[in-house]
Chains A and B, each alone.
Chain A
Amino acid sequence: MKSLRLSLIVYLLGLLLTCIVSFSLYLHHQSAQRVSAIFDKSGRMLARSTEDAEHLLQGRYQVMDQMLRANLDEALLLKAQTLASHLVRRFEFGRDILVFRLLGGHQSVHQAVLGMPGLPAVPIVGQEAVRWWTQARVIQLATLDEIDEGLLGSPRRSAPAEEFYQVSSEEELILLRSPHLGSNILPLDRKTRQKMKLFQYEFSNVTVGGRHLRLVTLKAPITRMLLIFPERRRGGGSSSNSHRPPRSSLVPVDRDIVQRGLVPTVFVQYARSVADIEETLAELRADIENVRDQLLREQEQTRLRLEEDAQAALASMRTTLVLLAVAVVAAMVVGSVVIIRRGLAPIEHIARAVSQVSEKDFQLKLAPEEVPQELAPIVARLREVLALLAAAFQREKQAVADISHELRTPLAALLATIQVSLKKMRTAEEYRQTLGQCAEIGEQLRGLMERLLLLARLDAGTAIVYPQLVDVPELAEQCLNMVRPLAHDKDLHFHFERNGVSTVFTDPEKLREILNNLLHNAIQYNRPGGRVDLELRRKEGALVIEVRDTGIGIPPEARPHLFERFFRADPSRQSDVIHAGLGLAIVKGYLDLLGGTIAVESTVGQGSTFRIELPVDGSDAPRTDASS
């Protein structure tokens, strides 16, 4: 047996569980997505910040690199220029010693190799442009030792191996060079030599003797110094030797000539090793690498920590969700049990009320306000059924009482008759009388039993119709004859109308029983001196039999019950035991069996009419009529 409450709880909990699980899964999914999005974003941000830091470091490195190199270049250029100007100064200072007059034709270039003891020969370039020169000038540059390195802005001893200079003529003669260059030469290719203009300089990276060097090449004029000479000479002319030709005689070289390249020039080169810069940069690079590594490590750590945090947060949320779900489910179990109990309370109430219905009263002890609207139809129907049941029960009880009554009275008579007879010795005649009386009572009992059995058979549907051709008027006559003595007792008169009805096809015994009962009633309930009419007629293929009396009539309230068993319109029993309130019930049962109907018309105090209609087979009727 299924429990309404249990199934409701199960369905409700199933629904709730489904809701909770889906909601939790959805929530979890959403949170996981969000957490992973946040995680990704932070990872990206972290990576970018690392990248930025890296860029910054890289930038710093580049700035440093550029700065160092720019500084170097500047220093180199400065040194080269200083050297160049120093060369001029050297020349100036040593003019008395080193200036030769050369005789020669103009418009040609003369070369001479001058030498001094201990000094390398220095080629001098003369130029055609100075055509009116009567004397050439030979410039001998100082030896290496005579170059004051201090002039170059750096202590000579401190970095002798790191800085190099070299001065060469346009003819690729090396006029001057750092002693520690050894056999190495600072390179100066021909193309550069020809391309470069005066005062122009150029930086390049070279490798000399396995060293990486930064080299600046500067094209500087030597003749520029000539511009200085006259002024100098003029300024100190008074103190100079008188045997020397006056300086004023020298033709000054104007600037224009110099700019046009018509002055002798030299290439001053100054180089410096970039090893220290590269070392510094390498250190910087290493630092940057370190920092970068550290940053990456930190980024990885942060990422891991973030991931851990995210996982922990998710796990905690999962736990919370599970706990929440468990709590909700528990609350729901309790809640649904309570709710369902409350909800089903009216049903229980009704069930209790129904269980208290007894066969005594068939009352559903339930106030209307206790019945929920939904169950009202059921309860109403239940009440109806109970009412029907109570009525049926009452009828059954009544029937049992009636049957017992009908059986008990003749039985009491039988016993009393026998016991009276047995009280003392009787004559044979007396015994004979007694036995006759007993037989009479026995007959009554038998008749009653047969009627009850007949009704039982009708109820069980085992009564069988034996139809045959029946001469209805003759049968009616027989019935009238049977009841005639009774009618005579009451001084009743019979009227019989046949109306040409002859034979019909029906069950004669049942028809006889019907007529007997109706006639009996007509006599029983008639007034003395009244009349009984029996009329036969045909109507649209039906046989109509009417029994009319002039009796007491049937009150309207009794008519619906007329065909119920043991029912009597007169609440007090009539003395006729034969009928026992079963006559009309049997009439009705037989008519149902034969397919007929019965109708009653009655006026209280004037009489009743019982009208029977029996269907007659249309094909039979004319034939039977004709045969009659």
Chain B
Amino acid sequence: MRTIDELLHEHPFFAGLDAEALQLIAGCAANRHARTGDYLYREGEPADVFYVIRRGRVAIEADDPVAGPMVIETVDDGEVLGWSWLIPPHQWLFDARALESTSTVVFDGKCLRTKCDEDPNLGYDLMQRVAQVMYARLQAARIRLLDLYGVPGAARP
């Protein structure tokens, strides 16, 4: 059975991070499996973790009383889920639901924040990685706002 730092070493989010740093952050991590339909977190709950998706698919969604759950985007293997653990008030804004059987590595956000405070180089490195994910998702969300596949020239929904 592979150790957590070995699993993290294979994950694109941690590509290039040295073994010492991986070992350090692996101390804040544990394996977690979600079955289809399980919620990894729900809106309003304290955001004290973040997930590295090893296998599977998770929907980030908002619940509407009439329409039901509305999927904003999905996160797949090789990606990470959740950044509210990093930014006050550390509270989830959306739900995260497994669309299929999903294997993750879950990080204790408080533990990770403490290690980042103690080791600013590690903290800066992790912040850069999270910022890249946030940047990519922000850009994707902006482009999706354009409703590219709608009828050309039609009013946006």
Whether A associates with B in a native complex is no
Interface residues of chain B, those whose CB is within 8 Å of chain A, are none
Interface residues of chain A, those whose CB is within 8 Å of chain B, are none
